[in-house]
Structure 1
C-alpha cells in the first residue's frame, strides 16, 4: 500500500474509485478522496454486491439466504497495486484501483470473478506454464435514444450521415468516428491499456479493438476498464456504445475472441515442437475445450440476448468444431509459424465478464491437456454445414442446466461459485 500511496501523491490524485467486478462485469465499489483511501485499513462492501444481476436485482429470498450470510457481512477489499489506472475523463485527477475481495479470515472470496480467474491461473502455475492471451473485442456505436424499446440505429458520422450496409474492414467507415477513437486511444495510453488494432467490423458502426498478447489477469483487468472507457468516449461525442452480444436483430453479433498459448519455464511455447510442428498439447487443449465448453457456456454467453448471436452464416460459431485458419469453427488455430501456435476461442460474446470468460476457456483447455483428451477431426470446409452434430446449447436455460450439473466445474471453480452464478 505504501507504493500505491506514494504514486497517488506523485500524480496529485484527489479522488479514487475503489472497484471490483460483479458477475455481470459491472464495476461496483466506492468513490472517495485519495487521503481517505490511503488512510483506510480495508475498504468494505457487502458480500451481496457480487450476486447482483445486470439490472441490480438479487435472486429470490429463499435462494439468497443459501448463498449469502444471513447477517449480510462485509467483504474486505484489498487493492492490487498492479491494477491501477487513471480516469482521464474525470473532472479532477482520479485513479481507478481494482481490488480483490477477502473475508475476515483473510481468504479470497470464492464467488468474486477475479478470484475465479486467479484460481484457474494457479493450476497453470503449479505446472510451470504461463498463459499468454490476446482478446479481440467487438462493439457497436449507436445513436442516443431515451427509449430502450426503440431499435438501435447507427449514429451520425463526420460526413453527416449514418452508415448503411456492411462496411467490413473499411478505412473510410472507421474514419467516420475519428474524433471518438482519438479519445479512446489517448485515454487507453493514459490508462496503460495495451490496445493495438482498430477494425471496422461487418455491422453498421460495428468496431473491433484488438489487444496485444500478454498476462491473462492483467488483460482481463484491461478489458474490464476498456469497456467503460469506450462508453465514456462515446458519451463525450453524444453517442452510445454497446457491448451487447446481439444489439441489432438484422446485424451481426459482437464477440470477444480469445487467443491463447502457453509458455513453459524456459519461455518456449508448449504448443510447438522444436521442428515447428504442433505438439500433442495443442490437440489436447482443443479436446478439452470441445469436451467441457458446453457446461461452461454461461461464462461465455451470460444473457438471454447472448444466444441470439449464434446463428449460422453470421460469422458467429454454432458448433464445437475446430480447424486451421477457418472462421466457420468455434475453435480456430490461426496459420502461423510454429513458435506462435495458438488457439482462438471464438465463442465468448462481447457481453461476457472478461474474468469469467478467460477462466472458463483456460480451464477447459487445461483439463484437456491434463487428461490428454483427443479432439475431433479438424474441419477444412464450411463448419456450418459439416459439423451439425456438434451443437452448442441453444439458449440460456439449457446452458445453465448443463452448468448446474457440472461436477468438474464445482470441483475446480467451487460449488458456491457455480450455484451462485447459476441462480
Structure 2
C-alpha cells in the first residue's frame, strides 16, 4: 500500500520547522540508500513515487554494481518506482538540520511490487504462512559496539572512551549496570529517537565486551514491521552514536578476542484468534514448535549465506562463545542454535541465534520463517533437546566459511521455494562477486607471514 499525500500534508503542518524529507530504503546488504527532498518538493514523492534504479538493490557492501544476472550495466540500468510506506514518516531527532524520513518500498513501473526489494521478499514468505493459518509474532534483538571514531594504525577499531571516566573502556561486565550508567546519555537518546520514530525498543543491556550493548524490541504480530523496526533501530543507533562522538558498528566480529555481535530472532506462531500454537502448557512447547525447529535445522546450512553475509561473519563462530556451532536446540539453553526461552506458556517461542548483526533483517527473518513453515508442513522431528553445553564442537555439515556457505545457497533445495529462486540467484551472484573482490586484496597479514 502506498502512503497518501494527506499523510505528508498533516505531518508538515505539525512540524513546520522540518526542512528536508529523506526517502530511504534498505538494500541487499541492509545499507540505507535513497534521496533527500527539500520540504517543498516532498509532495512529488507522495504523488508520483521516486524513480530509482532496480540495481540499487543489487549493490555489494562497497556500493559497487556487479551486474548480477545482467542487471545493472547489461540491461541499461532501468528505474523502478519507490513509494512511501504508510505510517513511516517520522522526524530524525539526531539530524543536524530539522529533518524527517520515510521508508520506501520498491515497485515496477506498473505499480506491482518488485521482487528485488528484500522487504517484498519477506512479505511473500509471511503471506505463505498466513495463508496456512499461521500468524507470526516476532521480534529481533541486535547487539552492537560503540567504538572510538579514531582507528588503530592498522585500521582496526578501538574501544570507546568511557564517558564517566574519560579513560579507554576496558570493562567486560555482562549485564553490568555501571556500564549502562556510564553510557546513559547515548542510550537515553537512542530510546528517545526510537520513540519518535515508532521503533518499539524497551530494554538495553551491556554485553560481553567494552562498549558492547543490546537493545531489545517488542514483539509484534507483523513480520515485515518487525524487520522494519530492526533496520530502523540500526539507523537510529548509528545516528545517535555519531552525535555523541562515537561510532556504532554492527559488524559480526570487530574484535578478535571479544564477543561478536548477533542478531537473535524470536518467533512464535498464532492462530486466527491469537492463541499461541507453540504453547501446549509444557516448558518444552507443542509438537508444532518442535516441527518448526526441525525445519530451521533442515534449512540452517543453506541459509548461512543469508545469516552470515560476509567474510568477517564466520569469525564469530567458535566453540564455547555462546554462539551456535551446530543445528542444536534446547530449552532455556544459550549454547544452542534454536533456543526455547523459559517463561509463561503464552510467550512460548523459538529464539533463532545464528545470525550476525550485519545480516539483512528482512532476508534473515524470511529464511527463519521459511524454515519454520517447511518444518511444520513436513512435520520434521528435531530430535531430542540438548542439555548442558551444546557449543563445544563445530557441526561438519554446516558451512563455516563464506565461500562454502555461498555454495550451499547455490544448491539450496528449500529456501528457493520461499524467497524465490531468481532472487536467491541474484543474491548469490552479488555476494560471490563481493567475495572475489575481497579475495583480490593482499592483506598486511600475508606480508607478515609470507613475504
Asked if 1 retains the 8 angstrom alpha-carbon contact of 2:118 and 2:362, the reply is yes
1:7 is matched with which residue? 10
1:219 is matched with which residue? 226
Aligned-residue CA RMSD (Å)? 1.9
**Residue 193 (structure 2) pairs with residue 187 (structure 1):** yes
2:422 is matched with which residue? 416
Asked if 1 retains the 8 angstrom alpha-carbon contact of 2:122 and 2:363, the reply is yes
Give how far 1:411 is off. Answer: 2.4
Give how far 1:148 is off. Answer: 7.9
Asked if 2 retains the 8 angstrom alpha-carbon contact of 1:289 and 1:364, the reply is yes
Partner of residue 159 from structure 1, selected from 161, 165, 170: 165
**Residue 294 (structure 2) pairs with residue 287 (structure 1):** yes
Matches of residues 229-378 of structure 1 in structure 2 within 5 Å? 229-273=236-280, 278-378=285-385
Partner of residue 198 from structure 1, selected from 195, 201, 204: 204
Please give the alpha-carbon distance, in whole angstroms, between the structure 1 residues aligned to 2:83 and 2:369. Answer: 25
Give how far 1:410 is off. Answer: 2.2
Q: Which of 168-177 and 23-32 deviates more?
A: 168-177
2:437 is matched with which residue? none
Please give the alpha-carbon distance, in whole angstroms, between the structure 1 residues aligned to 2:61 and 2:183. Answer: 29
Q: 1:116 to 1:230 in 2, by over 3 A?
A: same
Q: Unpaired segments of 5 or more residues in structure 1?
A: none
Give how far 1:260 is off. Answer: 0.6
Give how far 1:336 is off. Answer: 1.8
CA offsets per residue over residues 154-209 of structure 1, 9 Å max, x none? 11111122222421111112221112112111111111110011100011111111
Please give the alpha-carbon distance, in whole angstroms, between the structure 1 residues aligned to 2:373 and 2:71. Answer: 31
Give how far 1:388 is off. Answer: 5.1
Give how far 1:129 is off. Answer: 2.2
Please give the alpha-carbon distance, in whole angstroms, between the structure 2 residues aligned to 1:318 and 1:3. Answer: 51
Q: 1:297 to 1:275 in 2, by over 3 A?
A: closer
1:400 is matched with which residue? 406
Q: Which of 2-11 and 367-376 deviates more?
A: 2-11
Asked if 2 retains the 8 angstrom alpha-carbon contact of 1:111 and 1:416, the reply is no
Q: 1:89 to 1:148 in 2, by over 3 A?
A: farther
Asked if 2 retains the 8 angstrom alpha-carbon contact of 1:67 and 1:416, the reply is no
Please give the alpha-carbon distance, in whole angstroms, between the structure 2 residues aligned to 1:175 and 1:112. Answer: 39
Question: What TM-score, normalized by structure 1, do the two folds share?
Answer: 0.95
Secondary structure, aligned partner of 1:16: strand
Asked if 2 retains the 8 angstrom alpha-carbon contact of 1:67 and 1:420, the reply is no
